[in-house]
């Protein structure tokens, strides 16, 4: 049986081949995400991986809706695997926000599903670090999120020569749009043309823009000028005070594909432009209102960082850490009459939080020793009996070859 295309198996290290995804690396990525989020005072939340289809169809935008994994469940409900976390989060916040002090600062590490064409940096399943803030209109909140995004990437050893955050604003684009087109209902269509422009044939972009009354030349001139509007200037000043200026630039080419963004938007890219976006986000001030049918009106903003592009980039920059795996000790059982005494030792050491393994069944001595080495054990221990029949433990440090014979009660200290 083969796994589905676009899905991953995660194996423990050492990996069978360079092609495999590492469960240890995934764990390292998650714990780095968690620790930076906690440094910034974000609390962890989670939601269900399966949601009603409706949550995504009206709110996310056509591109993501086209990629939904959806089906009718046995209760005749139209459901979908979550392609992103933001609608779930906005639903959760809309329901319970009155119980939380503002601003709400929450993070999550969901697994997401999108039926995309599989390519470099794009799979049908990925994990995404999401950090979002609710209840704050001031650009100080946008700056706080951008700083968190920068510090998250820095925590993996990346610096300003590796990545840049491209900052933009839908407000700036909306102003540009309204000066030239009276029909505001066309704004999202216009944003989508801008969003695809970097990858699209310029002749096609020009034709699409002209159909809405714009020219490619005019749009390009606006992007090239790159003049920050007031909210973007405020973010730049805020980041400058933190010494983070070299990590950001104004780039109106970024507008974001998702439908719900209303203000500042941003994306993180590798400087060499070899990879797809590492992360993306922005402000969505109407989503909570939309999902609560007007009952709760709370501004929101956030970003998502996927594990796929991040892992590819870290691998390419040789920043994937050597994963430390291994146990503290392997308990050799060469004399089966000592198995129960050995199990008692194993149990007592595990209760002291030490990682211990042993042969489950009678096994030749050399095989046991090989197993200890495979498991990267720091020590071996072997239960023995002295002439009077008392239980003693022979502890060997596998690095120094030093051996000690100890009463069972002293073994934990010797191993620690």
Smallest distance from ligand HAM to CB 138, Å: 17
The widest CA-to-CA distance across the chain, in whole angstroms, is 98
Query: Cβ distance 252 to 222 under 8 Å?
Result: yes
Name the residue with the smallest CB distance to ligand HAM: 306
Q: Is 256 helix (H, G, I), strand (E, B) or coil?
A: coil
The verdict on 280 binding ligand HAM (CB under 6 A) reads yes
Q: What is the DSSP string of 325-346?
A: ---SEEEE--SGGGHHHHHHHH
- 278 is an interface residue for ligand HAM by CB under 6 A: yes
Min dist. Cβ of residue 195 to ligand HAM (A): 10
Task: Outline where 67-165 has alpha helix (H).
Answer: 86-96, 139-155
Residue 255 Cβ, how far from ligand HAM at the closest point, in Å? 12
CB of 228 to ligand HAM, least distance (A): 21
Per DSSP, helices labelled H in 40-181 are: 54-57, 62-66, 86-96, 139-155, 170-180
Nearer to ligand HAM, 280 or 299 (CB): 280
* One of 32, 70, 130, 380 touching ligand HAM (CB under 6 A): 130
Give me the least distance between CB of 149 and ligand HAM, in Å please. 11
259 binds ligand HAM (CB under 6 A): no
**Is 382 within 8 Å of 332 (Cβ atoms)?**
yes
Residue 51 binds to ligand HAM (criterion: CB under 6 A): no
Asked if 171 and 231 touch (Cβ cutoff 8 Å), the reply is yes
> Which CB, 260 or 358, lies closer to ligand HAM?
260
Site residues (CB under 6 A) for ligand HAM, limited to 131-150: 132
Q: Taken in order 198, 204, 210, 212, is the CA torsion positive or negative?
A: negative
- Least distance (Å) between residue 121 CB and ligand HAM: 6
The SS3 of residue 24 is helix
Write the DSSP assignment of 179-198 as a string of letters.
HH-S-GGGHHHHHHHHHHHT
Closer CB to ligand HAM, residue 61 or residue 359?
Answer: 61
What x/- string results for residues 285 through 304 when contact with ligand HAM is judged by CB under 6 A? -----------------xxx
If the CB atoms of residues 206 and 267 are measured against ligand HAM, the closer one turns out to be: 267
Exactly one of 13, 116, 334, 335 binds ligand HAM (CB under 6 A); that residue is: 116
In the complex, least distance from residue 85 CB atom to ligand HAM, rounded to whole angstroms: 6
Number of residues that this document lists for the chain: 416
**Is the Cβ of residue 191 or residue 358 nearer to ligand HAM in the bound state?**
191
> Which one of residues 8, 34, 122, 317 is an interface residue with ligand HAM (CB under 6 A)?
122
Nearer to ligand HAM, 66 or 326 (CB): 66
Write down the least CB distance from residue 262 to ligand HAM, Å: 11
What is the CA angle 151-242-160, rounded to 5? 50
Nearer to ligand HAM, 84 or 144 (CB): 84
Query: With 0-12 CB in 10 A as exposed, 13-18 as middle and 19+ as buried, what is 372?
Result: buried
Fill in the DSSP letter of residue 161.
Answer: T
**In the complex, minimum distance from the CB of residue 270 to ligand HAM, in angstroms, rounded to a whole number:** 11
The residues pairing with 134 across neighbouring beta strands, listed in sequence order, are 104, 300
**Stretches 127-135, 148-156, 244-252, 362-370: which one binds ligand HAM (CB under 6 A)?**
127-135
Kindly write out the interface string for residues 69-88 of this chain, putting x where it contacts ligand HAM by CB under 6 A and - elsewhere: ---------------xxx--
Q: Is the Cβ of residue 163 or residue 358 nearer to ligand HAM in the bound state?
A: 163
Among 281, 288, 328, 358, indicate the residue that binds ligand HAM (CB under 6 A). 281
- Whether the Cβ atoms of residue 271 and residue 163 lie closer than 8 Å to each other: yes
Distance of alpha carbon 51 from alpha carbon 78, whole angstroms = 9
| Residue 152 is a binding residue for ligand HAM (CB under 6 A) | no
H/E stretch holding 239 reads helix 230-241
Tell me the C-alpha distance between 240 and 149, whole Å: 15
Contact indicator for 85, 303 with CB cutoff of 8 Å: no
Residue 85 φ then ψ, to 5°: -95, -25
Q: Which are the contacts of 348, defined by CB distance < 8 A and separation ≥ 6?
A: 408, 412
Q: How far apart are the first and last CA of the chain?
A: 44
Please choose, out of 15-23, 217-225, 276-284, 326-334, the segment that lies near ligand HAM by the rule CB under 6 A.
276-284
Here's the x/- map for ligand HAM, 301-320, by CB under 6 A: it reads as: -xxxxx-xx-----------
Binding site for ligand HAM (CB under 6 A): 84-86, 114, 116, 122-123, 126, 128, 130, 132, 258, 277-281, 302-306, 308-309
């Amino acid at each position: 049986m083969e796994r589905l295309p676009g899905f991953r198996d995660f194996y423990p290290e050492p990996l069978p081949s360079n092609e495999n995804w590492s469960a240890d690396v995934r764990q390292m990525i998650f714990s780095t995400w968690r620790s930076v989020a906690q440094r910034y005072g974000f609390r962890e939340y989670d939601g269900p991986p399966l949601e009603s289809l409706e949550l995504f169809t009206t709110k996310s935008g056509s591109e993501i809706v086209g990629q939904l994994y959806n089906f009718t469940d046995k209760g005749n409900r139209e459901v979908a695997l979550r392609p992103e976390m933001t609608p779930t989060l906005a639903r959760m916040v809309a329901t319970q926000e009155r119980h939380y002090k503002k601003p709400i600062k929450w993070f999550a590490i969901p697994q997401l599903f999108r039926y995309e064409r599989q390519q470099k940096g794009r799979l049908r399943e990925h994990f995404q670090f999401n950090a979002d803030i609710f209840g704050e209109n001031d650009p100080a909140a946008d700056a706080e999120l951008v700083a968190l995004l920068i510090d998250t990437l820095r925590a993996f050893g990346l610096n300003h020569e590796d990545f840049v955050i491209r900052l933009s604003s839908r407000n700036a684009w909306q102003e540009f749009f309204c000066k030239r087109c009276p029909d505001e209902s066309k704004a999202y269509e216009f944003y989508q043309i801008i969003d695809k422009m970097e990858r699209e044939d310029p002749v096609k972009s020009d034709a699409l823009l002209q159909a809405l009354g714009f020219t490619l030349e005019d749009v390009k001139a606006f992007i090239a000028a790159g003049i920050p509007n007031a909210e973007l200037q405020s973010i730049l000043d805020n980041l400058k005070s933190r010494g983070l200026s070299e990590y950001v630039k104004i780039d109106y080419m970024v507008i974001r594909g998702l439908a719900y963004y209303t203000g500042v938007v941003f994306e993180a890219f590798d400087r060499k432009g070899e990879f797809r976006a590492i992360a993306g986000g922005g402000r969505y001030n109407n989503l909570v209102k939309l999902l609560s049918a007007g009952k709760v009106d709370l501004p929101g903003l956030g970003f998502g960082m996927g594990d796929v592009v991040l892992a590819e980039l870290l691998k390419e920059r040789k920043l994937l850490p050597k994963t430390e795996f291994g146990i503290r000790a392997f308990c050799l059982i060469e004399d089966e009459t000592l198995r129960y005494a050995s199990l008692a030792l194993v149990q007592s050491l595990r209760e002291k939080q030490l990682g211990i393994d042993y042969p489950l069944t009678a096994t030749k001595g050399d095989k046991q020793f090989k197993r200890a080495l495979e498991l990267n054990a720091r020590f071996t221990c072997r239960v023995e009996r002295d002439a009077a029949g008392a239980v003693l433990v022979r502890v060997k440090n596998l690095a120094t070859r030093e051996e000690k014979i100890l009463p069972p009660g002293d073994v934990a200290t010797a191993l620690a």
